[in-house]
A and B are shown apart, each in its own frame.
Chain A
Amino acid sequence: MDTEEYRDHPVRSYVLTSGRAHPSRNTLRPETLVRAVESRPVLSTASRLERELVELCRGTLALAEVAAYLQLPVSLVAVMVSDLVDTGNLTIRSNHQAHVLPGKDILEKILDGLRKL
């Protein structure tokens, strides 16, 4: 989807309606890592809050961290992040498959890391 198409969409700024199609929303968890796509300019229709969110994500943060810094509930930030992933402004760095647990290899690495703390 290109930018022009979005400009024609008046409801693009975050309107909290349920039942909208959100391909990425179900995969978002509080620990999901997100990061801004630097090469992608924020749409002119983006809200101040959305700009602030993208700005905050110039480095990797978990969704919950974004929510805490913006002083908003995680559930609301999940909706905004999902929209911004759909517009190509944010990318999900982790856990793109929902309901997938870490494997034994990951747990072993975590244990090694914890033992070195």
Chain B
Amino acid sequence: MDSASSDRTAPGQHLAPTVARSVKVLVVGAFGVGKTTLIGAVSEIDPLRTEERITTASVGIDPGQPNKETTTVAMDFGRITVTEDIALYLFGTPGQRRFWDLWAGLADGAVGALVMIDTRHLEDSFEVLDQLELRTKIPFAVVVNQFPDSPNYPLERVRAALDLLPETPIVECDARDRQSAVLTLITLVEHAMTFPVFQKVTA
């Protein structure tokens, strides 16, 4: 089968001693859109998972009476040693507004985000896109995952429906396929390189 999984070793697999820097990319998108699949397709370790208990303010309730509840949010992630000294981490998170506190911290310092879209449920991604655009400045690329029963919309129609900026990249992907997933990362990093915040040379 794929060579990626046979290279994977036991739990506790350490990075090579030459790795001295890490960068991260977020993988966000609605429930069941393929985040874990994409992370698993490119990761050199079996995807790992952590859970965080967070307090969320439930929405749609009388603003005078903030109603707090505790939820467990899972984050799964993988890593790729991209050069002998740099490890790239991919963090998958639901990205909805009520989890904002959690993923605001995650977005801090990120190279960018892959926003995964399922065209069968386009509206499920509106909230995630709103959160990214309104509350972060991080570069993002939109990844359209193709499912067997996905409608065959041209990408430009999806772009229009999602109201994306002309410069925002949008690509099709099979999240199960390593090369396809790697291409989405290349697209994102190329896009990030056009952002002024990344123009400086690392000190």
Q: Could you tell me which A residues sit within 8 Å of B by CB distance?
A: 29-33, 56, 58-62, 64-65, 67-69, 72-75, 93-95, 98-115, 117
Min CB gap A38→B, angstroms:
12
Q: Could you tell me which B residues sit within 8 Å of A by CB distance?
A: 11-12, 14-17, 19-24, 42, 45, 48-53, 75, 77, 79-80, 82-83, 86-89, 91, 105-106, 108-109, 111, 178-179, 182, 185-186, 189-190, 192-193, 197-203
Nearest first, the 3 closest Cβ-Cβ pairs linking A and B are A59-B14, A113-B82, A103-B202
Report how far A111 CA is from B193 CA in the complex, Å: 10
Which residues from chain B contact A107 at a C-beta distance below 8 Å? 111, 189, 192-193, 198
Which residues from chain A contact B82 at a C-beta distance below 8 Å? 109-110, 113-114, 117
Known contacts A68-B48, A105-B202: A110-B88 contact under CB 8 Å: yes
Report how far A29 CA is from B203 CA in the complex, Å: 19
Complex partner residue of B106 from A30, A72, A117, CB under 8 angstroms: A30
A-B CB contacts (within 8 Å), total count: 147
Quick check: B83 and A33 within 8 Å, CB to CB? Answer: no
Residue of B nearest to A105 (CB): B201
Complex partner residue of A64 from B16, B50, B108, B198, CB under 8 angstroms: B50
Known contacts A95-B22, A110-B189, A113-B83: A103-B109 contact under CB 8 Å: no
Which residues from chain B contact A106 at a C-beta distance below 8 Å? 21, 23, 86, 202
Quick check: A30 and B83 within 8 Å, CB to CB? Answer: no
Min CB gap A59→B, angstroms:
3
Which residues from chain B contact A111 at a C-beta distance below 8 Å? 186, 189-190, 193
Which residues from chain B contact A117 at a C-beta distance below 8 Å? 42, 80, 82, 178-179, 182
Most buried by A among B89, B106, B178: B89
Residue of A nearest to B45 (CB): A65
Report how far A69 CA is from B182 CA in the complex, Å: 26
Which residues from chain A contact B79 at a C-beta distance below 8 Å? 62, 65
Known contacts A29-B108, A103-B202, A106-B23: A60-B83 contact under CB 8 Å: no
Complex partner residue of B83 from A29, A65, A99, A109, CB under 8 angstroms: A109
Known contacts A95-B109, A111-B189: A67-B198 contact under CB 8 Å: no
Complex partner residue of A114 from B20, B189, B192, CB under 8 angstroms: B189
Report how far A102 CA is from B12 CA in the complex, Å: 26
Known contacts A73-B52, A103-B200: A33-B86 contact under CB 8 Å: no
Quick check: B109 and A100 within 8 Å, CB to CB? Answer: yes
Min CB gap A69→B, angstroms:
6
Report how far A89 CA is from B97 CA in the complex, Å: 38
Which residues from chain A contact B108 at a C-beta distance below 8 Å? 29, 99
Which residues from chain B contact A29 at a C-beta distance below 8 Å? 24, 105, 108-109
